[in-house]
């Protein structure tokens, strides 16, 4: 496998972990699927790069799986993994061509995204120690994530010049370089104000050219993986048993808004979804919750 493929595969797997919040076992399966596909290309030539991959390569890979009596569900998963990789490469402007675009995936039942209850969110957000430099930064990050519902990649890329504390709005750059403006909320604003009053200045080490809102202890850019580890640590302290990733706060943001009768179109705009059907999946979570309550409490449930 060429070095560029290794690097982009690693970045994709980190994206699945942090942005998509997939379970580790699922990510391991995807990694094996993609490595199997890559090794099938030109007998696994070290010089083979993703830019050389053609649609026929993928079709031949799928045909070989079928010929070797691999189960249909496993073939679908492998195709989903490969399609996801190229979708990621396109999204990151690494690839200019998606060889999987014309290959349709068989319909599989989509799982509802996991989300936290409001009480669980409170427990998670209460974990950072706001009396410390890092604690106030982490508190501001988690509060902003839940208050705005932004993606992790959007959170760690926020330009401080795009945050207006006076009016309580932040501008983020989403998928496809689309900008959107999102309300921040008074609690998140409170901790952002505290963070900006002194802790950030210490963290950036007087590097006035650093316009990132959130930075690491070394004053550098956060990675998705780095923020995932921080979130995981606080989730463990909060004794949350669910598979926690930063993305679960985005799911919780949407679910809690809709639970409190927020307009679907507004939630779509806040999340930056181009297709409202993506947002509608959160209404299904509420429906499942209602069905569970009905089953539990109705005499004929």
Q: What is the 3-state secondary structure (H, E, C) of the chain?
A: CCHHHHHHHHHHHHHHHHCCCCCHHHHHHHHHHHHHHHHCHHHHCCCCCHHHCCHHHHHHHHHHHHHCCCCHHHHHHHHHHHHHHHHHHHHCCCCCCCCCCCCCCCCCCCCCCCCCCHHHHHHHHCCCCCCCHHHHHHHHHHHHHHHHCCCHHHHCCCEHHHEECCCCEEEEECHHHCEEEEECCHHHHHHHHHHHHCHHHHHCCCCCCCCECCCCCCCCCCCHHHHHHHHHHHHHHCCCCCCCCCHHHHHHHHHHHHHCCCCHHHHHHHHCCCCHHHHHHHHHHHHHHHHHHHHHHCCCC
Catalytic residue positions?
151, 175, 247, 250, 273, 282
- For 144-169, what is the mean pLDDT? 94
Q: pLDDT tens for residues 44-84?
A: 455 566 777 889 889 999 999 989 999 888 898 999 999 99
- For 114-119, what is the mean pLDDT? 88
- Per-residue pLDDT, 294: 47
- For 232-253, what is the mean pLDDT? 88
- Per-residue pLDDT, 268: 86
- Per-residue pLDDT, 85: 94
Q: pLDDT tens for residues 266-276?
A: 888 888 877 77
Q: pLDDT tens for residues 119-129?
A: 999 999 999 99
Domains and CATH numbers, the chain: 3-91 (1.10.150), 118-291 (1.10.443.10)
Is the confidence at residue 2, as pLDDT, over 60? yes
* Percentage of the residues of the chain whose pLDDT score is greater than 90: 44
Is the confidence at residue 34, as pLDDT, over 90? yes
Is the confidence at residue 287, as pLDDT, over 70? no
- Per-residue pLDDT, 298: 47
- Per-residue pLDDT, 284: 62
């Amino acid at each position: 496998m060429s070095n560029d493929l290794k690097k982009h595969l690693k970045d994709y797997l980190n994206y699945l972990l942090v942005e998509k919040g997939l379970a580790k076992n699922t990510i391991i399966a995807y990694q094996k699927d993609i490595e199997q596909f890559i090794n099938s290309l030109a007998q696994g030539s070290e010089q083979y790069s993703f830019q050389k991959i053609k649609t026929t390569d993928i079709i031949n890979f799928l045909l070989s799986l079928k010929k070797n009596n691999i189960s249909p569900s496993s073939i679908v998963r492998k195709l989903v993994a490969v399609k996801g990789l190229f979708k990621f490469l396109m999204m990151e402007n690494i690839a200019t061509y998606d060889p999987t675009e014309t290959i349709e995936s068989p319909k599989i039942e989509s799982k509802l995204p996991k989300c936290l209850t409001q009480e669980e969110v409170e427990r998670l957000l209460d974990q950072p120690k706001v009396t410390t430099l890092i604690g106030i930064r982490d508190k501001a990050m988690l509060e902003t994530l839940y208050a705005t519902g932004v993606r992790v990649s959007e959170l760690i890329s926020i330009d401080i010049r795009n945050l207006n504390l006076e009016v309580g709005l932040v501008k983020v750059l989403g998928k496809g370089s689309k900008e959107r403006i999102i309300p921040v909320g008074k609690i998140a604003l409170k901790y952002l104000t505290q963070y900006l009053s002194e802790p950030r200045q210490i963290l950036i080490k007087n590097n006035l050219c650093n316009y990132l809102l959130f930075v690491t202890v070394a004053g550098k850019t956060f990675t998705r993986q780095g923020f995932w580890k921080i979130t995981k640590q606080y989730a463990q302290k909060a004794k949350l048993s669910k598979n926690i990733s930063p993305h679960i706060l985005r799911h919780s943001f949407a679910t809690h808004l809709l639970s409190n009768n927020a307009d679907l179109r507004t939630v779509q705009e806040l999340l930056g979804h181009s297709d409202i059907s993506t947002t509608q999946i959160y209404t299904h979570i509420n429906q499942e919750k209602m069905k569970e309550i009905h089953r539990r409490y109705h005499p004929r449930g």
